[in-house]
Chain A
């Protein structure tokens, strides 16, 4: 862990969120906060409501109760594209890449919101549009270098192996230069080596770009190694919150993961 990295103020505050689908309560009265520059994990067994929580922050779901505050701006209703405008980027548990497009185009699409010049100039590639495209391209190349996928720049994403697709997914999110990066099970389905690579990328992103990261995982081992603080969910309720060490010794958490003798 990098000791110089400075954890800042609270930038995201989740306050009393409850979400139900019909009679099924996915989340019940969840509150926690995320501080600037930290890596915050949400863990829990399958079906604990982790992805639902992420989808609330991202605006895919609208919780019935509670509010979410991002950098002092609070909202109860949110749409995914507006979340993106506010600086929230995300990756997906089951990949959601633009399969027919090249790696480069996929990551370039993350710059979409930052393209300012108008359509006509873009089409003709003249003046500021040309310059802008080049500047974005330069930024994207940096990300490609960073994720070590230079060799696949022009490959259609659908042809890449799973581990690399996950990197492209991360790259697209990074291209948005997000203030808050949500990672939905970035290590799911990976082998040990791929997991180690992904951990390294996550730590480097946090370290080099100072990006605040909220990540979901059910592999506890990995999470404990890289997170600053951890929220534990079980059956849609928060059962633990604190540093990895605190969480590890929390009896409720141990029960949720290992089961309780009745």
Chain B
């Protein structure tokens, strides 16, 4: 559903403020153009990764109406599997096996959990995924161990410096980051097309809207659920691989994955493009807030500075919950009584 900015003026005001905040550092000369671009690119890259995790949420929510709290745990679990397997075999083989593991996981979740909860309230399903989260956390540690592991994508670590002729000192870009962004962007785009443009995507949306009716037109619920959970598992694996290669595979991955919650609320729980744009807004927004806004705030109020990055996303999310709960692009919930 398109966003009508006239009707949603608080959203329009906020987006305007964010836009102003984006150009202000450059306009006031608070930042050199080269450095500004570096921050922007860094933000966009983090944003793409948030989008990737958010996409997992959106996929499952769209196709089963389940708010899958376990998405973060799935990212961690997939990353752990990939990291440990790649210690004993080539990365691409490990990747293949990790995909299989996530498919088996999807099948088990459907078989043991979802199948028995058809037509239940959303809250019941949410609680079930909460249980899955903690199980997966513990089970992951049991199987793979609880140390910090690394994933080596075999890409050069050293950053490259581009556009040296244009800006003084050039712009610093990590090759690995570029690669990650390209993969994420590709994945995000193909999923968006799949959901919006194909009859199968329509069938998935149908399942999300009404289980009973979807069955009556011949959509096999159980198989659809295995498919989306497997796809969400695959997305989690890619997200886990990229995050893991950057930061190491450790428990805190799951907390980063929680950043995807504000992203989906901002973008709309039912919207694939929303997950992308939400991720980018939050990725860029929090980097800018941290780098440019924090020094201003701390010098004005005499604070010790920093830390905006941690709460920026959640404040934005709270604002949206208040003025536009369905998010930027989500479907409005219509109830006729």
CA distance A156 to B326 in the complex (A): 15
- Which of B198, B220, B336 has a CB less than 8 Å from the CB of A122? B198
A200-225 to B contact mask, C-beta < 8 Å, 1/0: 00000000000000000000000000
CA distance A122 to B202 in the complex (A): 11
- Which of A80, A99, A111 has a CB less than 8 Å from the CB of B209? A99
Q: How many residues of B contact A (CB 8 A)?
A: 30
Closest to A133 in B: B199
Q: Does B210 contact A (CB under 8 A)?
A: yes
Interface size class on chain A is 35 or more
CA distance A152 to B41 in the complex (A): 44
A129-165 to B contact mask, C-beta < 8 Å, 1/0: 0000100000000000000000000001011001000
B247-290 to A contact mask, C-beta < 8 Å, 1/0: 00000000000000000000000100000000000000000000
CA distance A145 to B218 in the complex (A): 24
Q: Is the CB of A100 within 8 A of B270?
A: yes
Q: Is the CB of B199 within 8 A of A112?
A: yes
CA distance A122 to B199 in the complex (A): 7
Within 8 A of A (CB), among B177-231: 190, 193-194, 197-200, 202-203, 205-206, 209-210, 212-221
B contact patch SS: helix
Contacts of B336 in A (CB 8 A): 158, 162
Contacts of A81 in B (CB 8 A): 215, 218-221
Q: Is the CB of A108 within 8 A of B213?
A: no
Q: Does A238 contact B (CB under 8 A)?
A: no
Contacts of A162 in B (CB 8 A): 336
B268 to chain A, nearest CB (A): 11
Q: Does A188 contact B (CB under 8 A)?
A: no
CA distance A113 to B206 in the complex (A): 13
- Taking A122-B198, A158-B336 as contacts, is the C-beta distance between A98 and B213 under 8 angstroms? yes
Q: Does A38 contact B (CB under 8 A)?
A: no
Q: Does A96 contact B (CB under 8 A)?
A: yes
Within 8 A of B (CB), among A91-111: 92, 96-101, 105, 108-111
Q: Does A172 contact B (CB under 8 A)?
A: yes
Q: Does B87 contact A (CB under 8 A)?
A: no
Contacts of A133 in B (CB 8 A): 199
Q: Does B331 contact A (CB under 8 A)?
A: yes
Contacts of B213 in A (CB 8 A): 92, 96-98, 172
A138 to chain B, nearest CB (A): 15
Contacts of B203 in A (CB 8 A): 109, 112
Contacts of A97 in B (CB 8 A): 209-210, 213
Q: Is the CB of B218 within 8 A of A85?
A: yes
Contacts of B205 in A (CB 8 A): 98, 100-101, 105
Q: Is the CB of B198 within 8 A of A112?
A: no
Contacts of A96 in B (CB 8 A): 210, 212-213, 216
Q: Does B158 contact A (CB under 8 A)?
A: no
Q: Is the CB of B216 within 8 A of A101?
A: no
Contacts of B202 in A (CB 8 A): 101, 105, 108-109, 112
CA distance A172 to B215 in the complex (A): 13
CA distance A125 to B215 in the complex (A): 26
Q: Does B334 contact A (CB under 8 A)?
A: yes
Closest to B196 in A: A123
Contacts of A123 in B (CB 8 A): 190, 193-194, 197-198
Contacts of A110 in B (CB 8 A): 217
Contacts of A92 in B (CB 8 A): 212-213, 216
Closest to A105 in B: B202
CA distance A119 to B202 in the complex (A): 12
- Known contacts A80-B216, A89-B217, A113-B218, then 17 further A-B pairs from the complex at CB < 8 Å, ordered by chain A residue: A58-B216, A81-B218, A81-B221, A84-B217, A90-B216, A97-B209, A99-B210, A100-B205, A101-B206, A110-B217, A112-B202, A112-B203, A156-B331, A156-B334, A158-B335, A158-B336, A159-B334
Binding site for A on B (CB under 8 A): 1, 190, 193-194, 197-200, 202-203, 205-206, 209-210, 212-221, 270, 331-332, 334-336
Cross-chain pairs A/B with CB under 8 angstroms, 8 sampled = A85-B218, A90-B216, A96-B213, A98-B206, A100-B331, A158-B335, A172-B217, A173-B216
Closest 7 CB pairs of A and B: A84-B218, A158-B334, A98-B209, A96-B213, A80-B215, A100-B331, A122-B198
